[in-house]
Amino acid sequence: MNRSNRSYELYREACVLFPGCVNSPIRAAVEPYPFFVEKANGAYIYTVDGETLIDYVLGYGTLILGHRHPYIEKVLKNQIEKGWLYTTPIEAEVLLGKKIQSYVMRNGMIRFVNSGAEATLLAIRLARAYTRRKYIIKFNGCYHGAHDFVLVSAGSAAQHYGIPTSEGVLEDVAKYTLVAEFNDLSTVEYIFRNMGEQIAAIITEPVLGNMGVIPPDKDFLKGLRELCDRYSSLLIFDEVITGFRLGLGGAQQYYSVSADIVTLGKIVGGGFPIGVVVARKDIASLIAPQGKVFNAGTFNAHPISMIAGYATIEVLEKEPVHYYARLAAEKIVKAFQEASKENNIDIQINHVESMFQVFFIDKPVKNASDARNSNSVLYKKMQIELQKRGVFIAPSQFEAIFTSYAHVDEAVSKTIDSIHTVFKTIKNMSSG
């Protein structure tokens, strides 16, 4: 693989320290072992082995501006000189809060936490307190973070390792999480008909980004909204990936459906740890210290995350980030389509704005079962071959491929060339 041994040496040391040699399961999916990164810039990451890779993982959807956008770097340097942790409020959290309120929920209030998982945990606790009901509905293949309420039929790395429900999650907790099929309203209606009065909330990713990419069918999200209204349940959109990626207004604006609670993460922290709960004022006012739903955190509204997040939104407002990220995605999707056609390999591509995924299957992928039925071995081959040629896409088909503002010209052309070569290689492998 044209690598020096440095990554391997570090990997061997890591294996003695960290279970499975890594600190988050998906990282172990990079073969033959995870490369260690020295630095990154724009669309590129540079490994300790001297390799250069075009990055389509981008912090699993975080870095919509690419690595080291100069404006973000400037404001961060400026902040570092003033200290980086006060555990008492700063102006940047008010500034970022106002932006989020104006784009995500005008009649909403906000709590900053430190990860997407913390945000969905609080969102569900809040929904249960507000409705005084116990059950929630989630969808097969949706991933909402690594906590007990939602580690049931989960996607992302939980899917990759075949642990639909993690060991250690109490059945007494998991039984309150009911699972429906994405893009199949009848499965949701069935649950509501039987126990509608007990459902606190539906939680969903508006576009599945942890089963590859699976967009909602026309009217699916509207159908969820109507069911929640009919049964006085709350609708939670987990926009940890889609927030600020599908546009400044996220999936709510993109699909013209409003949620009662929205969770955010990734992009909104500008590359630093963050989670956000945005909820209608009457719901959010239950959060402590105003109300009795407890949440607290040493690092909540961390100054660096606030500063980087606010600066990111400023760039999204001023520069054509979404346009260029989408353009790059469109060009690359087209290359996948052409290369697969030329080599008679069946693929389906699901694509929304600057996120997409390639499935090796000959029929549309509309839910988790379709994604699981795709040929993940072929996906893995493609990923490994692309990586050998300097293109780093998600190491599992159950993640998304992302583009950024920094994916222009040279990086995109090189990617397109590599895609054509790799599909020829895959064809030869299967015929040979």
Which residues in this chain contact ligand PMP in the complex, by CB under 6 A? 60, 115-117, 120, 143-145, 156, 205, 209-210, 238, 240-241, 265
Shortest distance in whole angstroms from residue 239 CB to ligand PMP? 7
Shortest distance in whole angstroms from residue 266 CB to ligand PMP? 7
* Token code pair at residue 184: 């199949």
CA atoms within 13 A on the CB side of 400: 28
Q: Is 130 a catalytic residue?
A: no
Residues 36/47, Cβ–Cβ less than 8 Å:
yes
Q: Please say which residue, 196 or 297, places its beta carbon nearer to ligand PMP.
A: 297
199 torsion bin: left (phi>0), alpha (psi -120 to 50), beta (else): beta
CA–CA dist 167, 253 (Å, integer): 37
Residue among 231, 266, 310, 405 flagged as catalytic: 266
* Token code pair at residue 310: 């606010």
Identify the CA nearest to 118 among candidates 283, 304, 274.
Answer: 274
CA–CA dist 264, 104 (Å, integer): 10
DSSP letters, 189-245, are HHHHHHHGGGEEEEEE-SSB-SSS-BPPPTTHHHHHHHHHHHTT-EEEEE-TTTTTT
Shortest distance in whole angstroms from residue 138 CB to ligand PMP? 11
Beta-strand pair 261-265/234-238: parallel
Q: Please say which residue, 143 or 254, places its beta carbon nearer to ligand PMP.
A: 143
Q: Please say which residue, 118 or 370, places its beta carbon nearer to ligand PMP.
A: 118
Shortest distance in whole angstroms from residue 355 CB to ligand PMP? 11
For 113, phi and psi rounded to 5 degrees? -125, -160
Q: Is 238 a catalytic residue?
A: yes
Shortest distance in whole angstroms from residue 402 CB to ligand PMP? 11
Shortest distance in whole angstroms from residue 16 CB to ligand PMP? 25
Q: Is 148 a catalytic residue?
A: no
Q: Please say which residue, 213 or 347, places its beta carbon nearer to ligand PMP.
A: 213
Q: Please say which residue, 143 or 356, places its beta carbon nearer to ligand PMP.
A: 143
Residue among 11, 56, 143, 379 flagged as catalytic: 143
Residues 405/329, Cβ–Cβ less than 8 Å:
no
Residues 174/199, Cβ–Cβ less than 8 Å:
no
CA–CA dist 245, 206 (Å, integer): 12
Identify the CA nearest to 59 among candidates 404, 398, 309.
Answer: 404
User: Which residue has its beta carbon closest to ligand PMP?
Assistant: 116
Identify the CA nearest to 8 among candidates 48, 39, 40, 52.
Answer: 48
Q: Report how far Cα 45 is from the mean position of its chain's Cα atoms.
A: 20
Q: Please say which residue, 212 or 378, places its beta carbon nearer to ligand PMP.
A: 212
Q: Please say which residue, 306 or 411, places its beta carbon nearer to ligand PMP.
A: 306
Residue among 49, 55, 238, 260 flagged as catalytic: 238
Shortest distance in whole angstroms from residue 390 CB to ligand PMP? 25
Q: How far is CA 46 from CA 34, 37, 383, 411, in A?
A: 13, 6, 18, 14
Shortest distance in whole angstroms from residue 20 CB to ligand PMP? 17
Helix axes 409-431, 321-342, angle to 10 degrees: 20
CA–CA dist 99, 429 (Å, integer): 51
CA–CA dist 21, 228 (Å, integer): 43
Q: Please say which residue, 150 or 328, places its beta carbon nearer to ligand PMP.
A: 150
Residues recognised as catalytic: 143, 238, 266
